[in-house]
Structure 1
Amino acid sequence: MRVTVDVVGEGTHEVELGEDDTYVDLLEPLEYGRHEVSIVVEGQPVPEDQSVEVDHVRVLRLVQGG
């Protein structure tokens, strides 16, 4: 399955996933950690351990600062 990953403000990537891969598996080729981003489908955050069933997601980088 090929999934389009739109990293807001940073570009779009095509990621190839296996049948049982989850949303967190989308991050591996993008070099983002699971604590750095929120994965959004149709405007709603999705659980990282849920199986991917769509062909387009948005990734929002979380802002940290002090």
Structure 2
Amino acid sequence: MHVTVHVFGREAHEVDLPDPTYGDLIDAVDLNPHEATVLVDGRPVPEDAPVEASEVRVLRLVQGG
């Protein structure tokens, strides 16, 4: 499946994976699933759900201390 992954604050990535999950897309753009979430139509989706969108956005979560 071909998916365009837009990472907020970074460039877009074109990803081709067979039967990916949203977690696979996070891995494909070299982010850790614990520090990022995938948004489809502005709503977060579970990382273990199968990808159903051809375009997604990845939001890096900020941690501080």
TM-score normalised by length of structure 2: 0.93
Indicate the percent of aligned positions where both proteins have the same amino acid: 54
Superposed displacement of residue 13, structure 1: 0.4
What is the correspondence of 1:31-50 to structure 2 with a 5 Å cutoff?
31-50=30-49
- Structure 1 Cα separation of the partners of residues 9 and 17 of structure 2: 23
Which of structure 1's runs of 4+ aligned residues deviate more than 4 A? none
How big is the shift at 1:28? 1.8
1:7-22 superposed matches below 5 A: 7-19=7-19, 21-22=20-21
Structure 2: segments with no counterpart, 5+ residues: none
Q: CA deviation at 1:31?
A: 1.2
User: How far apart are the structure 1 equivalents of 2:6 and 2:63?
Assistant: 20
Contact 2:26–2:38 under 8 Å retained in 1: no
1:44-59 map, 5 Å: 44-59=43-58
What is the number of residues matched between the two proteins?
65
How well do the aligned residues superpose, as a CA RMSD in angstroms?
0.8
